[in-house]
Amino acid sequence: MRRELLERIALPLGVTVALIAAWHLAVAVSGTSIFPAPADVVRGLGEQPRLGGYIRDSLFRVASGYLVAVVLGIPIGLALGWWSGLARAANPLIQMLRPISPLAWMPLAVIWFGVSNLAPIFLIFLASFFPVVVATMNGVRNIPPMYVQAGRNFGLSTAALLRRVVLPAILPRVAVGLRISFGIAWLVLVAAEMIAVDSGLGYLIIDARNAGQRYDLVVGGMLLIGIIGLALDGLLRMVERRVTW
């Protein structure tokens, strides 16, 4: 128990404290007036009146785009993995669209949706959709044939077979795909907010840089993005363990 506590809490906390101390020492020794010290970052974030709203807006956008991608991507991936003819018909389109960076769609997203929440939500959807579809499709294709045959021997219909055999069998692979797609979505969110909207953590970074070279807010925004991303990834890990248990 003590060893597990040390590995999970004490060691990461110790490394974090050491890095912050090294950061403070490097700024103090160099005497730089450009790069902020840790205390400057904390002070700058504390003085930002819209910080809570920025965090809320970022979480709303990433959750909206990601959930739409999951709701659509899992059934589509399930259908493509189950019906090979459908997969052959759709595969050229998927393989053509999948390598296109979601950020390449940004000019079109701004034209279609304007400077609004819909533009980054659309980009986040694109970033999440294809990894979810591919993970689900590959999961279906890699199910051991004996599982499917056993379900057929019990007289299950196709719908019941998909619900009672296929879905439980592909959950581990789909769960990994969901975590990967969320990581991509979080990255795309920050880039989209730098251009397509006027709020959010990405906007905070670019606005602080352009408005007055507030590098304390730039670094603070970067740290918040990392901390929130870490927390959300931990949440997804918990869900993954519960779902695939």
**What CATH number should be reported for the domain holding residue 97?**
1.10.3720.10
Domain membership flag for residue 7? no
Mean pLDDT of 50-66: 92
Domain membership flag for residue 84? yes
Q: What is the pLDDT of residues 15-48, one digit of tens each?
A: 888 898 998 898 888 888 788 888 988 998 888 8
Domain membership flag for residue 40? no
Mean pLDDT of 58-71: 94
| pLDDT at 5 (0 to 100) | 58
Is it the case that residue 227 has pLDDT exceeding 60? yes
| pLDDT at 124 (0 to 100) | 92
| pLDDT at 210 (0 to 100) | 81
| pLDDT at 190 (0 to 100) | 85
Domain membership flag for residue 176? yes
| pLDDT at 187 (0 to 100) | 87
Domain membership flag for residue 44? no
Q: How many domains does the chain have?
A: 1
Domain membership flag for residue 43? no
Q: What is the pLDDT of residues 198-213, one digit of tens each?
A: 888 988 988 888 876 7
Domain membership flag for residue 9? no
Window from 2-6, 82-86, 103-107, 182-186 with minimum mean pLDDT: 2-6
Domain membership flag for residue 64? yes
Domain that residue 239 falls in: 50-243
Is it the case that residue 139 has pLDDT exceeding 80? yes
DSSP string, the chain: -HHHHIIIIIHHHHHHHHHHHHHHHHHHHHT-SSSPPHHHHHHHHHT-TTHHHHHHHHHHHHHHHHHHHHHHHHHHHHHHHH-HHHHHHHHHHHHHHTTS-GGGGHHHHHHHH-SSTHHHHHHHHHHHHHHHHHHHHHHHHTS-HHHHHHHHHTT--HHHHIIIIIHHHHHHHHHHHHHHHHHHHHHHHHHHHTTS-S-SHHHHHHHHHHHH--HHHHHHHHHHHHHHHHHHHHHHHHHHHHH--
